Chains A and B, each alone.
Chain A
Amino acid sequence: MQRGNIFDYKNYLYFKLAVVMILLAFAAFMLFEPAVGHYGGSWIGYGLGVISAVMVLWMAWYGVRKRRYRSAGTTQGWLSAHIYLGTALTVIVTLHSGFHFGFNIHTLAYGLLLVVVVSGFFGNYTYMIYPRQMTENMGEDSLDGLLLRIAEADKLARQIALLMPDDINDIVTHACRSTFIGVGLLEQLRGFQPNCPSALAVQKLTTMGNHLSTDQRKLHRELYSIMVRRQSLVKRARQDLMYRSRLGFWLYFHVPFAVALLVAMTAHIIAVFFYW
């Protein structure tokens, strides 16, 4: 049994490979300078360009590979290679360009590549920190379980609130009706609702118990504890949705930009050969 994460997979095999690739590319770049200076069309530029194009295609193939469950080997190894070699790719592509940039399809492809790689870095960051926090937040509970318990608390709170004065009933009803959990992407990513009615209800209920009759006071205490419990459940459910959405959000950049990169790269290659 071997436990390692995607970064230290097989004792940093792909990290080492990426470093070797970068060093080789740099060495070639330094040692062989064409008479006209470095640019994509020199033979060293073409060489690096061909390597980069193959690497881009291979990176994109990861999307297919990870869903081909019958293929041999582990997806973990592929992801580790995807991360390290993808990072090395930015260096190789930069050397391929010979630092010539402009408003054209070539630089567009370069820019798209950078967006893809940077969004990937963000993905790595989320993979490193959120899984642990998610477990701490949820324990053995599932999101469905939490939502069910919130619904139960809602029902109970509203029943008790019916026996209370109108102002308390209004607050509780409002809290139950207007609390939203993960409605809309922005709210999911933020992980909270501005002026959350549940939090406001707990805050207001704290001070509202003074003018009540003895019977109602007992009910008020019960209602209060239900609302506090409910609020913490709401908070946990929102946190969980926040982690989930953050773990997946970066892919909305990574994948579409990768497809755009494939298109731009094809255009770049055709253009280069057309104007040869």
Chain B
Amino acid sequence: MALVSGRRRAGTVKARTRCVLIETPRRVMQKLINSVQSMRNILNEVAIKSVVQICIGLSLSGDELNDLAKHAILKSYAAGEDLFHEGDEADGLYLIQSGSVTVSRMIGGKEVVLFYVAAGNYVGEMSLVSGEPRYATVRAAIATEAVLIDAGRMRDIIARNPEIRSALDARFLQHLQEQERRQQQGTTSDNTGTIGNQATPSNLISFLIQQGVGEATDVLLIDESLCIRCNHCEQACSDTHGGATRLDRDAGPIYANIRVPTSCRHCEHPHCMKDCPPDAIHRAPHGEVYIDDSCIGCGNCQQNCPYDVIQMAVVHEQPEPSLWQMLLGIRPQPEIIEGGAKVAVKCDMCKDITGGPVCVRACPVGAALRVNPEELLSYAGSTPGEARLLGSDEN
């Protein structure tokens, strides 16, 4: 699942007895999937089954699952393409296998984004439950693959499994409530006549999607209403990473009080990995995309990154400042190393440092936050998180 969706592993796998496993690197596996049709078919079938289990949490029998997988259709969408449109007839349930989508509705003649839904979730259950036309438009935020289970088959399953019915019903009501609340926010900002400048959660989602956060798995945000511009985040990053900071606090778009600084978002399908001759870019078990020591400094990844977060730099150990230097904030003179080779450097989310990302921990005022877009924007976790981000709990 994680291989296909590019997100973090959905579960933990532990060896119960001594066993020998063969690991196929992600890149090789993806090449194989893309070039061999039968491989793709097998993986698709497995993926459909697992996505059904993960998304709906169904306890279907093997036969039922096989039947479902056989008749499910895998659909691919380009960024910005609609999965379905508000007012359409319900054609089935969409399980998002990779990528992410936004759910939006026309409110007061303007399209307002209500939710962001990432891989491992499903959309389209509302009309399926109620039997009414589609309530909202679902659009791919980035290149997305979804498994479509057609409406008739899904209704069959629902009829046979009462617990699925109640789970879907509960979710339906929850969404209805959430949608209502979001629409209220949409209309109140409409009434003020300045919707473009209103910092509603819907606008925040649209802004973050525009910044490519949709394909991120972990993104650094700066709350500019708290940031005192002390640059400890950059300093901490550079001191712990061979003298080259991997984030630019000062650069990056702002929406309301939230800045998306120039810093790696650890994309689902990293653009930097596409063309690395020594295969030096990897994904760590917790999702961190990092460059290992075999980098030859060719600069391909730097050019391939659409977010400009990779730079070429000479990496060298930083001298440890003395106690007095630290107390008074005096920087020790860095040693100038002549002729060091430049290599590609990027954020590794401090995977080798206990305690997590130093940029966040070094911020004295708590303005730097690392967020998982899924948690920030998805159905369940979004509301309080966004409200907090926009500072609506204050004053």
A interface, CB within 8 angstroms of B:
1, 3-6, 9, 60, 63-64, 66-70, 72-76, 78-79, 126-127, 130-132, 134-135, 139-140, 142, 244, 247, 255, 259
Contacts and interface: CB of A to CB of B under 8 A. Distances in A.
Contacts of A247: 228-229
Given A5-B365, A66-B362, A142 B251 contact: yes
Contacts of A127: 228, 365
Given A67-B326, A69-B240, A139-B254, A75 B225 contact: no
Interface in B224-270: 224-229, 232, 235-236, 239-240, 250-254, 257
A5 B226 contact: yes
A74 B365 contact: no
Given A5-B365, A73-B361, A132-B224, A63 B329 contact: yes
B117 to A, nearest CB: 18
B232 A66 contact: yes
B181 interface: no
B56 interface: no
A132 B369 contact: no
Contact of A67 (B250, B329, B354, B389): B329
A76 B363 contact: yes
A132 B326 contact: no
A27 B321 CA distance: 43
B137 to A, nearest CB: 28
A246 B364 CA distance: 17
Given A63-B327, A69-B240, 20 more contacts: A3-B388, A5-B365, A6-B366, A60-B327, A66-B232, A67-B235, A69-B362, A70-B240, A72-B354, A73-B355, A74-B363, A75-B232, A75-B361, A131-B224, A131-B225, A131-B367, A134-B224, A135-B257, A142-B250, A247-B229
Residue among A6, A9, A76, A126 with max Cβ neighbours from chain B (10 Å): A76
Given A1-B375, A135-B257, A142-B250, A64 B327 contact: yes
Residue among B327, B358, B372, B385 with max Cβ neighbours from chain A (10 Å): B327
A76 B364 contact: yes
Contacts of A79: 364-365
Given A64-B323, A127-B228, A135-B254, A1 B376 contact: yes
Contacts of A6: 364-366
B363 A75 contact: yes
Given A63-B327, A67-B321, A132 B236 contact: no
Contact of B362 (A4, A75, A244): A75
B366 A76 contact: yes
Given A3-B369, A60-B327, A75-B232, A135 B225 contact: yes
A63 B322 CA distance: 12
B326 A69 contact: no
B371 A1 contact: yes
A74 B228 contact: no
Interface of B: 223-229, 232, 235-236, 239-240, 250-254, 257, 321, 323, 326-329, 353-355, 358, 360-367, 369-372, 375-376, 385, 388-389
A1 B327 contact: no
A63 B326 contact: yes
Contacts of A66: 232, 362, 364
Contacts of A73: 355, 361
10 contacts: A1-B371, A66-B364, A70-B240, A70-B358, A74-B363, A76-B364, A135-B257, A142-B251, A255-B328, A255-B329
Given A73-B355, A142-B250, A255-B328, A131 B366 contact: no
A68 B301 CA distance: 31
A75 B231 CA distance: 13
Nearest to A64: B326
Contacts of A63: 326-329
A133 to B, nearest CB: 10
Nearest to A123: B228
